[in-house]
């Protein structure tokens, strides 16, 4: 689950249980797409990127698309890192 990233279905269960501490949207390494990460532990624990079944790190073309994904999970808000 956490080695390379957290799967979307596992993340949905954690969100439903209010187990996620922080949500962050940021740019990928090419700075052309967006990623979505979560922090599960304390404030100094690492951010874990969301992954899909096919991709190690799931990316979105726009911040609006990330927002729709987060809203679909039930996320009320997230930070954006430029």
What is the rounded CA–CA span in Å between residue 11 and residue 74? Answer: 11
SS3 50: strand
pLDDT along the chain (82 residues), means of 10: 79 94 94 95 90 90 98 96 92
Residue 46: give its domain's CATH number.
Answer: 3.30.720
47 inside domain: yes
Q: What is the pTM of this model?
A: 0.89
Q: Residue 3 has what pLDDT?
A: 60
Q: Which domain holds residue 75?
A: 6-81
1 inside domain: no
44 inside domain: yes
Give the number of domains in the chain.
Answer: 1
53 inside domain: yes
40 inside domain: yes
What are the structure tokens assigned to 27, written together?
């740019």
């Amino acid at each position: 689950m956490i080695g390379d990233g957290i799967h979307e279905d596992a993340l949905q269960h954690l969100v439903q249980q209010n187990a996620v501490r922080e949500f962050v949207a940021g740019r990928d390494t090419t700075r052309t797409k967006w990623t979505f990460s979560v922090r599960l532990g304390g404030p100094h624990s690492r951010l874990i990127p969301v992954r899909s079944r096919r991709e190690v790190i799931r990316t979105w073309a726009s911040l609006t698309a990330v927002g729709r994904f987060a809203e679909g999970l039930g996320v009320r808000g997230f930070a954006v890192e430029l």
